[in-house]
């Protein structure tokens, strides 16, 4: 069992005080905080090993290269794949853009791509770029309890999409999708199956080998690591056949004025000087999470979500979004206080200087909580199509991690009661 009060002491920023109180950080779905071990590992790299990798034959460069490749092995083992299948990128967004660009080379007019209604913009826009060449997009619907409609998924698979790309855990709803089952069904139709793991790899046990997917993408900064480093994990044979995404140094084998040949995987996709310090930080974050145990991380967040769903009905007018079963969701809680109209209607109301009676805008909720040193997110959470599907312009969102406690959840709802009273006057 996790003792979040002990863990919290490992995170220097969480000791800061705002408005006279230590911060209660509930925005880990946007980015997680960093433990001291990650910060120190990166500092140690810069102080003692900093050099460009793969290029120097002097000792400092060779040491830096060795460190870089060992971090790759460590991160790969965390998600049960090989180092050669692990491509370092900046983040999940870059990984998905890489896939859309490279796999897009294979697609022709009339080919289809299947996504879901709950995708982050990063798993929509890169595929929308391919519409210019005549590729068509479909979206799997949700049911009334914010789970994917698997009957609709099976029906849309009958259109034989070339690519299926889905989030394992929604950054808005917390919905955990049955990606292993979805991958098996997609492969029966000959589809390439991609998993957006940005909200799953940091929060639950994830095995690339067990998921029956072709690719999975995740970001370091959401799993206690630094910003600017992430991974695209892919089946080796798929990576070998894909076109490079970026051109430049280190991704080539040989270059002439007429053309070039590519380096081996994964270096074929790592053009330019890599984020070596970032890889060191990510590897240290992996060690930190491995020491806790990913089953324990998942169980802890379920505990917090159960408490959240128990307390939510106590706030009059609170509307929550996400599965009612805490076993089917991650540590994400999106909600509104009162009726939050759809984006178009909200703009019309603002133009007329009007508001919906009894409602509190998510931005006002977040600003009010900030005065009590509670940090949550408000807005569309890079999921505007999903907001439209839910018929709201925005939501407030609290998202939990290993450094959050039951007490944090209780303090959130005490503060929300104050917000409700303040705006009810």
Q: Which residue has 């940090």 as its token pair?
A: 375
Could you tell me which of 30, 308, 266, 309 has the C-alpha nearest to residue 171? 30
Residues, the chain, total? Answer: 425
Say if residue 71 is exposed, middle or buried (CB neighbours under 10 Å; 0-12, 13-18, 19+): buried
Taking the C-alpha atoms of residue 104 and residue 96, their distance in angstroms, rounded to an integer, is 11
Taking the C-alpha atoms of residue 262 and residue 269, their distance in angstroms, rounded to an integer, is 9
Taking the C-alpha atoms of residue 215 and residue 396, their distance in angstroms, rounded to an integer, is 31
Could you tell me which of 374, 350, 378, 347 has the C-alpha nearest to residue 364? 378
Taking the C-alpha atoms of residue 164 and residue 179, their distance in angstroms, rounded to an integer, is 11
Active-site pick, 81, 169, 231, 382: 382
Both structure tokens of 39: 């910060």
81 is catalytic: no
Q: How far is CA 315 from CA 146, 184, 189, 412, in A?
A: 21, 42, 46, 11
Which DSSP state fits 123?
G
Taking the C-alpha atoms of residue 34 and residue 38, their distance in angstroms, rounded to an integer, is 6
Q: Which residue has 């603002």 as its token pair?
A: 350
The catalytic residue positions are: 382
């Amino acid at each position: 069992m996790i003792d979040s009060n002990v863990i919290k002491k490992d995170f220097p920023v969480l000791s800061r005080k705002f408005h006279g109180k230590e911060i209660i950080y509930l925005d880990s779905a946007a980015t997680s905080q960093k433990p001291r071990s990650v910060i120190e590992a990166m500092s140690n790299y810069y102080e003692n090993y900093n050099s460009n990798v793969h290029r120097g034959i002097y000792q400092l460069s060779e040491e830096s290269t060795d460190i870089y490749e060992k971090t790759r092995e460590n991160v790969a083992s965390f998600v049960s794949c090989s180092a050669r299948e692990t491509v370092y990128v900046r983040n999940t967004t870059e990984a998905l853009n890489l896939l859309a660009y490279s796999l897009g080379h294979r697609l022709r007019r009339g080919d289809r791509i299947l996504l879901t209604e709950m995708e982050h913009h990063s798993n929509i826009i890169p595929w929308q770029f391919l519409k210019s060449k005549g590729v068509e997009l479909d979206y799997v619907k949700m049911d009334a309890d914010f789970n994917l409609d698997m009957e609709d998924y099976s029906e849309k698979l009958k259109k034989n999409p070339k690519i299926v790309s889905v989030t394992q855990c929604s950054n808005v709803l917390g919905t955990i999708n049955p990606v292993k089952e979805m991958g098996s069904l997609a492969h029966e139709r000959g589809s390439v199956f991609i998993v957006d793991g940005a909200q799953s790899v940091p929060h639950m046990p994830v095995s690339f080998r067990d998921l029956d997917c072709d690719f999975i993408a995740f970001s370091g900064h959401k799993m206690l690591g630094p910003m600017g480093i992430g991974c695209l994990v892919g089946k080796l044979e798929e990576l070998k056949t894909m076109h490079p995404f970026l051109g430049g140094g280190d991704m080539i084998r040989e270059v002439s004025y007429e053309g070039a040949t590519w380096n081996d995987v994964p270096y074929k996709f790592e053009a330019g000087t890599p984020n070596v310090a970032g890889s060191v930080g990510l590897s240290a974050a992996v060690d930190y999470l491995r020491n806790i145990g990913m089953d324990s991380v998942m169980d802890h967040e379920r505990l917090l979500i159960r408490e959240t769903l128990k307390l939510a009905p106590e706030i009059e007018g609170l509307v929550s979004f996400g599965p009612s079963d805490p076993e089917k969701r991650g540590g994400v809680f999106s909600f509104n206080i009162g009726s939050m109209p759809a984006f178009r209607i909200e703009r019309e109301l603002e133009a007329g200087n009007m508001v919906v009676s009894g409602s509190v805008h998510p931005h006002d909720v977040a600003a009010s909580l900030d005065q009590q040193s509670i940090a949550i997110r408000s807005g569309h959470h890079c999921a505007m199509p999903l907001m439209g599907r839910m018929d709201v312009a925005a939501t407030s969102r609290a998202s939990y991690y290993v450094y959050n406690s039951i007490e944090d959840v209780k303090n959130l709802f005490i503060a929300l009661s104050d917000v409700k009273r303040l705006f009810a006057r």
